[in-house]
């Protein structure tokens, strides 16, 4: 299958894996890339040298391209920005900010740069800065989110920019992918679906919690402090929302969640840890290998596209 994104990235299937903190390490990224999509290593809050290690490990696992997501709010963002150049990483996605300080150097190094945006204004800025494409991420996503739904955001971003657009937020199967393409996307990015994969190095408790999730099981913390994060409802989110409602300070609320994503991902503490996941968690019923996830999505996309095309 060919779109401007498959051509730009040299991949077989227009499916990217989100650069999720603590989850998107070398095993997951390599598995997605080996299966024909684009796997990414999530820089998150990791130091540059830790990211370098993951990039090199991924290269041992696959000869297909693997990208890096640079989380711009990280204290190590500048460090990671330099390491990706030194390591000749072919593709960078960015999140939680505008990569204006780095994009020139990345482009000069021949790197494809694909920022995540949550609004039309951000998409226009990224195009002006020289981005190769943008990922329009709706509020259905897990983790740090914007306000607008994928359904409304994607076509407005597609109308606003000439560079190709990748759809993200709430997509977990071929139906979601076809919908995103109808809205103007030339690829999709999936996060939650790949957390519940065989290769993700994530506690069984976290994966099982995604399988058990219903449509209404996620909630958003941090809206009042301008830092909205979507995760599955548990003791942690209840405590957070209670304190947020009581008007506690941003510092106190930040301190409450410190280290809690790692606790859920690695230790399997899904009660007091933070279980970031998108609204599509309720669609996911089975842990599958990444190759099967991608194959099933592509097959469903094709069958459904034919079915839709047959309507008069």
CB 32 within 8 A of CB 67: no
Q: Exposure of 270 by Cβ count < 10 A (0-12 exposed, 13-18 middle, 19+ buried)?
A: buried
- If one asks whether residue 116 binds ligand TUI (CB under 6 A), the answer comes out as yes
Q: How does DSSP classify residue 99?
A: -
Whose structure tokens read 């503490």?
A: 269
Whose structure tokens read 């993200």?
A: 168
Q: Closest distance between ligand TUI and the C-beta of residue 77, in Å?
A: 11
Question: Does residue 80 sit in helix, strand or coil?
Answer: helix
Tally of residues, the chain: 312
- Helices 150-160 and 120-129: angle between axes, nearest 10 degrees: 40
Where in 140-159 is the site for ligand TUI (CB under 6 A)?
Answer: 143-146
- If one asks whether residue 281 binds ligand TUI (CB under 6 A), the answer comes out as no
162-173 burial: b if 16+ Cβ within 10 Å, else e? ebbbbbbbbbbb
Nearest CB to ligand TUI, comparing residues 201 and 303: 201
* Sole binder of ligand TUI in the list 9, 29, 117, 298 (CB under 6 A): 117
- If one asks whether residue 41 binds ligand TUI (CB under 6 A), the answer comes out as no
- If one asks whether residue 30 binds ligand TUI (CB under 6 A), the answer comes out as no
Q: Closest distance between ligand TUI and the C-beta of residue 312, in Å?
A: 40
Site string for ligand TUI, 216-255 (x = CB under 6 A): -------------x--------------------------
- If one asks whether residue 263 binds ligand TUI (CB under 6 A), the answer comes out as no
- If one asks whether residue 160 binds ligand TUI (CB under 6 A), the answer comes out as no
Nearest CB to ligand TUI, comparing residues 22 and 301: 22
Where in 60-89 is the site for ligand TUI (CB under 6 A)?
Answer: 71
Contact range with ligand TUI by CB under 6 A, out of 24-32, 137-145, 236-244, 288-296: 137-145
Backbone angles phi, psi at 33, to 5 degrees: -65, -40
- If one asks whether residue 118 binds ligand TUI (CB under 6 A), the answer comes out as yes
Q: Exposure of 226 by Cβ count < 10 A (0-12 exposed, 13-18 middle, 19+ buried)?
A: exposed
Token pair recorded at residue 130: 């020289």
CB 230 within 8 A of CB 18: no
Residues binding ligand TUI: what is the number (CB under 6 A)? 17
Nearest CB to ligand TUI, comparing residues 34 and 117: 117
Contact residues for ligand TUI, defined by CB under 6 A = 21, 44, 71, 95-98, 116-118, 122, 137, 143-146, 229
């Amino acid at each position: 299958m060919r779109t401007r994104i498959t051509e730009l990235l040299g991949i077989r299937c227009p499916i990217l894996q989100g650069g999720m903190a603590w989850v998107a390490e070398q095993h997951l990224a390599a598995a997605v890339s080996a299966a024909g999509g684009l796997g990414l290593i999530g820089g998150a809050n990791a130091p540059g040298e830790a990211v370098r290690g993951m990039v090199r490990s991924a290269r041992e696992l696959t000869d297909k391209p693997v990208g890096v997501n640079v989380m711009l709010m990280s204290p190590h963002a500048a460090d990671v920005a330099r390491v990706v150049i030194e390591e000749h990483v072919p593709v960078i996605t960015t999140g939680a900010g505008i990569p204006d300080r780095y994009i020139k150097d990345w482009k000069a190094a021949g790197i494809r740069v694909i920022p995540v945006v949550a609004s039309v204004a951000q998409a226009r800025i990224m195009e002006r800065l020289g981005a190769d494409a943008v990922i329009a991420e709706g509020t259905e996503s897990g983790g740090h989110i914007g306000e607008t739904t994928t359904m409304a955001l994607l076509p407005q971003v597609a109308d606003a920019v000439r560079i190709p657009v990748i759809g993200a937020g709430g997509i977990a199967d071929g139906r979601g992918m076809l919908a995103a393409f109808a809205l103007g996307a030339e690829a999709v990015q999936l996060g939650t679906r790949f957390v519940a994969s065989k290769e993700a190095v994530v506690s069984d408790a976290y994966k099982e919690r995604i399988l058990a999730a219903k449509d209404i099981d996620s909630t958003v913390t941090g809206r009042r402090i301008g830092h909205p994060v979507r995760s599955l409802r548990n003791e942690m989110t209840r405590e957070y929302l209670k304190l947020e409602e009581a008007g506690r300070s941003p510092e106190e609320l930040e301190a409450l969640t410190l280290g809690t994503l790692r606790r859920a991902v690695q230790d399997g503490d899904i009660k007091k840890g933070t279980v970031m996941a998108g609204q599509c968690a309720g669609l996911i019923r089975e842990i599958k290998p990444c190759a099967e996830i991608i194959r099933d999505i592509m097959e469903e996309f094709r069958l459904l596209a034919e079915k839709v095309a047959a309507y008069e």
